[in-house]
Chains A and B, each alone.
Chain A
Amino acid sequence: MKIIVTVKQVPDPDIPPTHFKVDEGARKVVPPAGVAPVMNGYDGNALEAALRLKENHGGTVTVLTVGGAEARDTLKRAIAMGADSAVHVNDPALADSDSATTASVLAAAIKKIGEFDLVLSGRQASDTDAGQVPLGVAEILGLPSAAPVVSIEPAGDGLKVHRMIEDGYQVVEIGLPALVAVSSEIGEPRYPPLRGIMAAGRAQIPVWTAADLGVDVSGARRSTLRRLYVEQREAQVDLIEADTPEEAGIALANRLREAKLI
């Protein structure tokens, strides 16, 4: 099976909340000093799912990203984990692109990579928490999709996947080629083995621009970020103190009753 995995580099979601700052004028997050960006968590799960499919059923895994020069580190890590090849779309014109533009660039890059059976993506990125780019890619490429998915196995000429629903999951049969966006339950990403890290050091990663893909990125945006801010918390915690923890528990219940919450 030929698999393409889309990955995104994001600010480390584990940075302490006190280090998180936004530049409201620029409508951007201020990268915290000394904290390197990381591969989006769900994209790591998607790569892990791809590597397992390859190990168990054969095939190749290509990782694809759209991002600045620093996104190369994420592609190197993917190769170190076991991906066969990587493609980096890097174009200054894409620096502030909206989701629709990113989806059309990814779709064009997937076409340029050529033959594939499956596109695997993370269900959403931990920066915008939107989850729309993978499904946008599916729509642009005319692929059937399933999201969010917690298990994938080949079945006949297609796949059998478990798609999360409110209180359980659907077992869905889907033909190939297809796009599947995965959730974390599909499996934790592996640590790169030493051999992989050496392979990543040697890897040649082609860099494509929007022009290489024949995508016009000068067009009007479909969505505009009008404001980005950190919510000021006026509510300070009301700490309930008492002589013993048991009395604190009783006092808490009383306070919740006064506040008409119970």
Chain B
Amino acid sequence: MADKGGVLVVAETIDGALAPISAELVGAGTRLAEGLGGTASAVLLGSGLDAAASSLAALGTARVLVADDERLADLQPDPTVATLAAIVGTEEPSAVLFGHTPSLREAAIRLAYRLGTAITTDCTALRAEDGIVVMTKPVFGGAAIAEYANESGPTIATLRPRAFEPVEAGSATAEIVKVDVPADVASRAKVVETVKEAATSGPRLKDAKTVVSGGRGLGGPENWPVVEELAGALGAAVGATRAVTDAGWVPPTHQVGLTGTTISPDLYVTVAVSGAVQHIAGCSGSRNIVAINRDPDANIFRHARFGVVGDYQKVVPALTKRIKELRG
């Protein structure tokens, strides 16, 4: 029985707890389902999910479908796609939403091709229009915006982290439904080791509400502490341009841009960043960009809300000191 207007959102965990993208997916899925005249339910895949499933149930979807199985521990594409295809076959939703994250992006795309439908990746907005899902996404490194719609269902989309308003956990308790992994599923790829990059202090780049990045204009790695100190004063995550990570001043996990992490913080402060297209691609979702650069013609000023044209070595220490005073 097709669930007309129904929306499934595929939630995620991190270290056993519900990941922040999950509340954003529930928020986006609930609004989309309202527009389509259906209801939203959540899906959770993995191994050892009891705590995360309870957190997810409090976010207010109609149901939470949980596939808790050893074979899904690493979310490798083969078992993940087979399980999702079975769920979609039973539920027949109008739309399935994923986070645009390394964990499930590969499975989301393969699911669309397995179902013979289409997917739009890295969406920053969704709307229902006459029963059709219209998906908005930046293209050409963020230089243009495209709107896509599927010709047949279900519509599948991956959503850019922090581009959608999250819902708050409330008193709701969704019905938790156990779902089986198809019996004949095995992964052709095997994870033999998981290596976490040395945890940096401060919040994770992708989820941070405030990010401070440094660019090549800093001159050299010996000047990097200026960026770190400003980030420390703001309680911000530390980012960098590709030029900086390529030069080895900081590990590649700090890279903001098309080839690195896409961020959407409330406040993004850039120090000596020129604003190359590929960097803007990773930060164009920032709500407020602040640019500090010596070159008044630097492209970053075209995207910034506040700017200072000047020598960062003089501007930033004063900025950092004043922020510390203001934030007490």
Contacts and interface: CB of A to CB of B under 8 A. Distances in A.
B196 A167 contact: yes
B267 interface: yes
Contacts of A222: 116-118, 150-152
Interface string A208-231: 000000000000111111111111
Q: Taking each of B76, B113, B266, which has the highest tally of chain A beta carbons within 10 Å of its own beta carbon?
A: B113
B252 A185 contact: yes
B113 A244 contact: no
A130 B121 contact: yes
A132 B109 contact: yes
Interface in A165-192: 165-175, 178, 183-185
Contacts of A230: 143-145
B310 A248 contact: yes
A102 to B, nearest CB: 12
Contacts of B196: 167-168
Q: Taking each of A11, A178, A252, A254, which has the highest tally of chain B beta carbons within 10 Å of its own beta carbon?
A: A252
Interface in A221-262: 221-231, 233, 235, 237-240, 244-250, 252-257, 259, 261-262
Given A129-B139, A129-B141, A239-B308, A227 B314 contact: no
Given A170-B193, A230-B143, A250-B319, A129 B281 contact: yes
Q: How large is the interface on B (under 10, 10 to 19, 20 to 34, 35 or more residues)?
A: 35 or more
A86 B320 CA distance: 55
Interface in B288-328: 288, 290-292, 299, 301-311, 314-323, 326-327
Interface stretch (A49-57, A66-74, A113-121, A139-147): A139-147
B252 A127 contact: no
A132 B301 CA distance: 33
Contacts of B327: 262
Contacts of A231: 144-145
Contacts of B137: 129
B325 to A, nearest CB: 8
A144 B108 CA distance: 14
A138 B110 contact: yes
Nearest to B192: A171
B1 interface: no
Nearest to B138: A129
Nearest to A10: B140
A145 B148 contact: no
Contacts of A252: 290, 292, 306, 308, 315, 319
Contacts of B310: 245, 248
A167 B121 contact: no
Contacts of B306: 237-238, 240, 252, 255-256, 259
A171 to B, nearest CB: 4
Interface string A106-139: 0000000000000000000011111110011011
B195 interface: yes
Contacts of A128: 139, 146
A175 B188 contact: yes
Q: Taking each of B14, B118, B140, B292, which has the highest tally of chain A beta carbons within 10 Å of its own beta carbon?
A: B140
A95 interface: no
B189 A174 contact: yes
A239 B152 CA distance: 48
A222 B322 CA distance: 54
B120 interface: yes
Interface stretch (B62-70, B97-105, B215-223): B97-105
A22 interface: yes
Contacts of A261: 266-267, 288
7 contacts: A145-B106, A168-B197, A172-B192, A178-B189, A185-B252, A248-B318, A250-B322
Given A174-B188, A252-B315, 15 more contacts: A13-B141, A13-B258, A17-B299, A41-B259, A103-B113, A145-B189, A168-B195, A172-B192, A222-B118, A222-B151, A238-B306, A249-B321, A261-B266, A262-B234, A262-B326
Interface of A: 11, 13-17, 20, 22, 29, 41-42, 98-100, 103, 126-132, 135-136, 138-140, 144-148, 160, 162-175, 178, 183-185, 220-231, 233, 235, 237-240, 244-250, 252-257, 259, 261-262
Interface of B: 14, 74, 76-78, 101-103, 105-106, 109-110, 112-114, 116-122, 134, 137-141, 143-152, 188-197, 199, 204, 206, 210, 234, 252-253, 258-259, 266-267, 276-278, 280-281, 288, 290-292, 299, 301-311, 314-323, 326-327
